Structure 1
Amino acid sequence: MTGIAAAYDPDGSVSSEDISALLDTLDYRGHDGRDHVVHASAALGHQHFWTTPEAEGEGQPITEDGVTVTLDGRIDDREELRSALPDDRRPDESASDARLVVAAYRTWGPDAFDRLVGVFAVVVWDERRGRLVCARGPAGLRELYYSTVNGRVVVGSDPGTVLAAPGVHRDVDDGVLGERLLGEYASRGDTVYDAVRTVPAGSYVTFDGTDSSVTRFWDPASLDRLSITDPEALADELADRLRDAVGTRLRSRETPHVLLSGGLDSTTVAAIAAERDDADLRAISMQFEDPEAMDDPESARAERRRVEAFVDEYDLPLALYSLDDAAAPLDVEAYAEPRLEKPVLVGIEAPKREVYGRIADAGGRVALTGEFGNLFDGNRFAYHDLFRERKLGRGIADLLADPLPARHLLLGYVLAPAFPGLARRLFEWRSDDEDAFFPDWLAGEFVDRTALRDRLENDAGWSDFDRTSMQGTYDDHYRSNQLLYFGRDRRRALAAGVETRHPFADRRVLEFVYALPTGARLRGGVDKFFFRHLAAELLPPAVQDQSHPFRFDPVIQRGLRENAETLETLVTDRELVDRGIVDAAVVDRLLEGFLDGDEVARMVLWRLAAAELWLQNR
């Protein structure tokens, strides 16, 4: 792994200088050097960061029999993939992941991508067929961007890599920006840059000349449902898959770390890692050492108790990072860095940057996380699915056991998804506003100009589930800003010399989630229902008690207050207003309320500040 770039000119040539200029934008990833390969009409490059034993000393790209590959990623079913390859193309057991991908592509062509279990973005130059192929793994955790300009195709791990190519303009796609401001991603493959596109997750893009086609090789909506319904049996199945996912992510040149909170997700990952016979693991946790630094001191105390109970149970070395003085900065200069060219801010970005630095200083190159464990939270649209599947007894029992009012649940989670058009019309009628679904800070003219309503209702190219609850889970992962936040955090980690790894985003775990029977994750208003059976086997009682959940909100609150002057400048002298995207009067009112102590506007202002910073520094 880590950063890849390519240039392809079907009617001309590509020089070493061309690919070197693209690789320059990815220097922050190349802790172990860089290499590139130049062919007559294509060039591929790679920034090295060797995190697995097999990758150490390897120079990518790799060329074999007319196939050149540059891989940002990791293969997690190495032995299964090797066994499936024919004898004359099977690398030895010590072969790198990239060399396995070369052998797989030589054997199966683009069909190889569906056989890969792991996280990856890969570019293949297929010289015999005269085509460039760019693929991205199912979880979407490795990004890949491209543009076609002046008869040439340019590809890179970062949008800044593509934008560095001559002729690729930085004009903003206002429609996509509107989607991002609302936290919804409707345009599959589009980015906030009009000239730049992204390879969708679970897909590959083929370039024959400058003509391109997108092929999906992984669609979770097509999976058969599991026949298992017993919660304990589901927990056992998940345990098996998570043990595989965690085990393969412990493959590292150095001692792996785990980012540990007191929640169920990261502690479950850490427990599975720590129980292995070959376990060698270190934990690092972000904590408020002074609980009074929080508005809710008890949640800070409970978090500390959970973390300490866990490391005592598993005898893990623990390093603490204090959040007492941490604040979320509105870092204007950061947006001049190519690796951060996205209109998002991560609330705990500054603390995470220091945590990654500490891991690197301790000699670590790999950090496991509990991120994406929210896939097991479930949602209340399961009630609608239960009724639609005629599981009336179970649906009624869950509704009555849920702590929310039954009337609210029936209207919002049973009738509304059953009759979405009618629900929308009733909502608009009650509010006397046909744009009531849009927040008042978004300018009505902008909504009309960008056809934002139509964009958000566009489902072309996305997975289409027959269950509302599972559609919601998919949309939360792939059609929200979640992957943007993850991408920004990953770039920060790579800059520090750390690769983050996420067992809950393993393909085997994802396919388990999307095949779960209706209502398995949520029962009677209790989220992670069957997951808690697994947690009960692995975690001490103090960790299982999540009665005082911990939030990082105080970091964002403090950051906005400490940067109040910057915030006020951003929303006073602003491109969002000049471009007619937001309503100035409403934003001024939000700012005034926030400065007077109203926290309701905090997250809106945080999102607007991120977009404004990006616009001013793009």
Structure 2
Amino acid sequence: MCGITGWVAFDADLRTRADVVDAMTATMDRRGPDESGTWIRRRVALGHRRLSVIDLEGGRQPMTVTTPAGEVAIVYSGEAYNFRELREDLRGRGHHFLTASDTEVVLRGYLEWGDAVAERLNGMFAFAVWDAREEKLVLVRDRLGVKPLYCHPTLDGIVFGSEPKAILANPAVRAVVDLDGLRELVAFTMTPKWALWRGMREAEPGTVITVDRTGLRERVYWRLETAAHLDELDTTVATVRTLLTDTVARQLVADVPLCVLLSGGLDSSAVTGLAAAHLAATGEKVRTFSVDFVGREETFRADEARTTPDTPYIRDVVAAVGARHEFVTLDASPLSDPELRREVIRARDLPVGFGEMDASLLLLFQAIRRESTVALSGEAADEVFGGYRWFHDQDVVATDNFPWLVYSSAMSGDRAAVMAPEVRSRLDIAAYTADQYATAIAQVEHLPGDSAVERRMRTISHLHLTRFVRMMLDRKDRISMAAGLEVRVPFCDHRLVEYVYRAPWRMKSFDGREKSLLRHAMPHVLPRSVRGRLKASYPSTQDSAYNVSLQRQAREVLADRHHPVAALIDRNWLRQAISLDPAATPASVRRGIDRVLDLYHWFELYRPSVELD
């Protein structure tokens, strides 16, 4: 796992701009704490920060191959889980390898198949190839968008990077945010290609971008497609079991310490159980980690997101599989630390406003990184199998809107409430959301003869797998990599995603529960308590001390009348929010204060120009 960046300028000599390339590369030192490398030629400069996971000695980047027609160079982030099979295939085609790394397999694969190498990869990846034979740059992103990739076209080329911060370090790019950027930040519709900063865009998952002197072209090599599902229920359950078992086994390959993130929910427990069974064959015990809060189990209060604490279920899984487990226990004090908030904003490049949920995730990953370099996660199972509660709320399902915006939670509601009235008016979030929803559902393919229920549930599944999951994956990647931890996501294996997506909703909920197919595919690795557990969200602190600290910091924002954030926020809303009883502050209000504080620190860190005209 690494960070990549680069710059192509067809009308300049980049050999004189090594300082800029170094600065771009240095912004991602946490993504790649082990090594740094750059490669510069007249028209192109590539930068790489490495987190060593496979072939610790031989996988250094940028990696190059010299051909009779010119050099071909690659910077690569991620993992190709089928690299061993591909390496044997390429050897049979006459290729010789100097390393044992998957990076060289991808590079040699490009030499053999061109950008069609993307279709042959099973994994999570974002990479850039400079092909001097044709003076072109090729950017490739994995199918589900597990690994991030951003780009900013320029007058004579392009600047790209794993994160916006790498692009913003280039003087050819201005840190400007306009109304279009702010709309998505507030609306939460997960608009494809959005990257907040004007002129910058996110490379779409499943896409190849080619840049040469004639301009920029895109080729979609994978998309979520609808097809008839012909298997009976028993076969479908068995196929899910086979695919997930194979996927977890593939993702356990690493030359560094590896663990599993265990929450006690169905998804992470299934991954833990499969990993434990696979490792047991070699005499190893699975290592697991989870997050908890001081006194949470004893003082737990059920809410709309969680009916039970996680710890009893975690203990059941640990006992069942014999895991070596560690609880990372946090209290409210560090969670509200402004410097920790700034670390999270630096990691995400965004003032998202997830508050202590992002802060605790970063602290968890930092603790894990002291013991492990790679972690497997249960992320994306809810999107694949239909696990979120709103999938099963008929009022939400019947509403023509993004389900996560309709379902009552701390993250829904009026996300624009904290914005100044004149800003809210200009943003017109209702119209923006309606336009995005219409665009999104127009992409969904249906089968002839589908019932109204099947059509609606397929639409909701498509929305989650093409929009919502991308936000969740970006959050996990950016925060984990800020701690130098690689997180792998078995539920994003494209074979599994395709297979389950095509299965009808009546199969995905055949037992009247959420994630029926997964629940019935994994009984052999799950304790009984977990098999029957309801969906629970990522844990957050219930300590009112967190609210007290937020309110104190918000008062300081109100007092700073000349700060740039003052032009964006509704001071009356904030004044009312901090007057509430900290012990009784609604979760939606707490999230609103978090958004204001994020905006405040984001201005301090990025010094953006905000243009609302």
Task: Give the 3 Å change call, closer, same or farther, for CA 556–234 of structure 1 in structure 2.
Answer: farther
| CA deviation map 1:517-564 (0-9, x unaligned) | 233223475211222112323211122232594752325865333332
Counterpart in the other structure of 2:497: 510
Aligned to 2:450: none
Residue 121 of structure 1: CA displacement? 0.5
Bigger mean CA deviation after superposition, 313-322 or 571-580:
571-580
Mark the CA change 1:124 to 1:610 in structure 2 (over 3 Å): closer, same or farther: same
Aligned residues: 569
Residue 442 (structure 1) shift = 5.3
- Post-superposition Cα deviations, 1:197-225, rounded to whole Å, max 9, x if no partner, equal 221111122111372122221110x2423
Matched residue, 2:461: 473
Contact 2:288 2:326 in 1 (8 A): yes
Task: Measure, in 1, the Cα distance between the counterparts of 2:558 and 2:242.
Answer: 50
Change (3 A) 1:235 1:91: farther
**CA–CA separation in structure 1 for the residues paired with 2:381 and 2:333:** 25
| Contact kept? 1:256, 1:280, Cα under 8 Å | no
Partner-residue secondary structure (3-state), 2:6: strand
1:249 to 251, 254, 257: 251
Moved more, 518-527 or 256-265: 518-527
What amino acid is aligned across from residue 2 of structure 1 in structure 2? C
**Counterpart AA for 2:444:** D
Q: Does 1:216 align with 2:220?
A: yes
| 2:383 paired with 1:375 | yes
Indicate how the Cα distance of structure 1 residues 246 and 548 shifts in structure 2: closer, same or farther if over 3 A, else same. closer
The CA distance in 2 between the partners of 1:293 and 1:61, in whole Å, is 52
CA contact (8 A) 2:332 2:541 kept: no
When residues 583 and 86 of structure 1 are mapped into structure 2, their CA distance, relative to the original with a 3 A threshold, is same
Which of 72, 78, 82 is equivalent to 1:77? 82
Does the CA contact (< 8 Å) of 2:328 and 2:367 recur in 1? no
The change in CA–CA distance for 1:37 and 1:440 in structure 2 (over 3 A counts) is closer
| 1:237 alignment counterpart | 239
The alpha-carbon deviation at position 246 of structure 1 amounts to: 0.9
Distance in 1 separating the partners of 2:429 and 2:471: 20
1:227 is the counterpart of 2:230: yes
Q: Partner of 1:271 in structure 2?
A: 273
Query: Quick one: distance in 1 between partners of 2:216 and 2:97?
Result: 35
Q: Tell me, yes or no, if the aligned pair for 1:326 and 1:350 is still in contact at 8 Å.
A: no
Are 1:328 and 2:338 matched, yes or no? no
8 A contact 2:550–2:594 mirrored in 1: no
Q: Distance in 2 between matches of 1:211 and 1:110?
A: 17
- Aligned pairs for 1:117-516 within 5 A: 117-149=122-154, 151-186=156-191, 188-209=192-213, 211-220=215-224, 222-230=225-233, 232-276=234-278, 277-278=281-282, 279-288=284-293, 290=295, 291-296=297-302, 303-325=310-332, 328-329=335-336, 331=338, 335=342, 338-346=346-354, 347-362=356-371, 364-378=372-386, 409=394, 413-414=397-398, 416-417=399-400, 445-446=422-423, 449-450=426-427, 452-456=429-433, 457-458=435-436, 463-466=443-446, 467-480=455-468, 483-484=470-471, 486-516=473-503
Once the two structures are aligned, what percentage of the paired residues are identical? 23
1:605 is displaced (CA, Å) by 3.2
Corresponding residue for 1:615? 603
- Superposed CA deviations along residues 313-339 of structure 1, whole A, max 9, x for unmatched, are 111111122245566326357547754
Q: Does 1:7 align with 2:7?
A: yes
Deviation at 1:265, TM superposition (A): 0.7
User: Separation in 2 of the partners of 1:326 and 1:369?
Assistant: 27
**1:423: which partner in 2?**
none
Deviates more, 1:130-139 or 1:352-361: 352-361
CA contact (8 A) 1:145 1:159 kept: yes
Q: Are 1:100 and 2:105 matched, yes or no?
A: yes
Aligned partners of 1:382 and 1:177: how far apart in 2?
A: 26
1:113-150 C-alpha deviation (Å, 9 max, x unpaired): 12211100101111111111111111212111222345
Counterpart contact for 1:381–1:468, Cα < 8 Å: no
Maintained 8 Å contact 1:203/1:218:
yes
Structure 2 CA distance, aligned partners of 1:91 and 1:168? 40
| Counterpart Cα distance in 2 of 1:375 and 1:20 | 38
Tell me by how many angstroms 1:264 deviates: 0.5
Contact 1:328 1:560 in 2 (8 A): no
Alpha-carbon distance in 1 for matches of 2:96, 2:582: 62
| Secondary structure of the structure 2 residue equivalent to 1:29 | coil
Do the aligned residues in 2 keep the contact of 1:334 with 1:340 (CA within 8 Å)?
Answer: no
CA shift digits 1:367-417 (9 cap, x unpaired)? 11111121245279999xxxxxxxxxxxxxxxxxx8x7xxxx3x6535x55
Indicate the residue corresponding to 1:433 in structure 2: none
State the shift of 1:577 in Å.
Answer: 6.8
2:381, 2:473 → 1: CA distance? 13
What letter matches 1:225 in structure 2?
A
Cα gap change, 1:577 to 1:614, in 2 (>3 Å): closer
1:175–1:452 CA contact under 8 A, matched in 2: no
Change (3 A) 1:176 1:122: same
Paired amino acid for 1:117: N
1:61 is the counterpart of 2:62? yes
Tell whether the 8 Å contact from 1:520 to 1:529 is kept in structure 2 after alignment: yes
Using a 3 Å threshold, how does the CA distance of structure 1 residues 194 and 210 change in structure 2: closer, same or farther?
farther
SS of equivalent residue, structure 1 residue 227: coil
Change (3 A) 1:493 1:380: closer
Distance between the aligned counterparts of 1:465 and 1:593, measured in 2?
48
Q: What is the Cα deviation at residue 583 of structure 1?
A: 4.5
CA contact (8 A) 1:76 1:248 kept: yes
Structure 1 542/60 Cα, relative in aligned 2: closer, same or farther at 3 Å? same
Name whichever of 368-377 and 490-499 sits farther off.
490-499
Closer, same or farther: CA 570–523 of 1 in aligned 2, 3 Å: farther
Superposition deviation, residue 608 in structure 1? 4.1
Matched, 1:564 2:568: no
1:601 aligns with 589
Q: Output the amino acid matched with 1:104.
A: G
- The letter for the 1-side match of 2:60 is G
- Closer, same or farther in 2 for the Cα pair 1:373/1:333, shift >3 Å? closer
For residue 42 of structure 2, what is the amino acid of its counterpart?
A
1:512–1:80 Cα change, 3 Å: farther
Describe the shift of the 1:312–1:440 C-alpha distance in structure 2 as closer, same or farther (beyond 3 A): closer
TM-score in terms of structure 1 length: 0.82
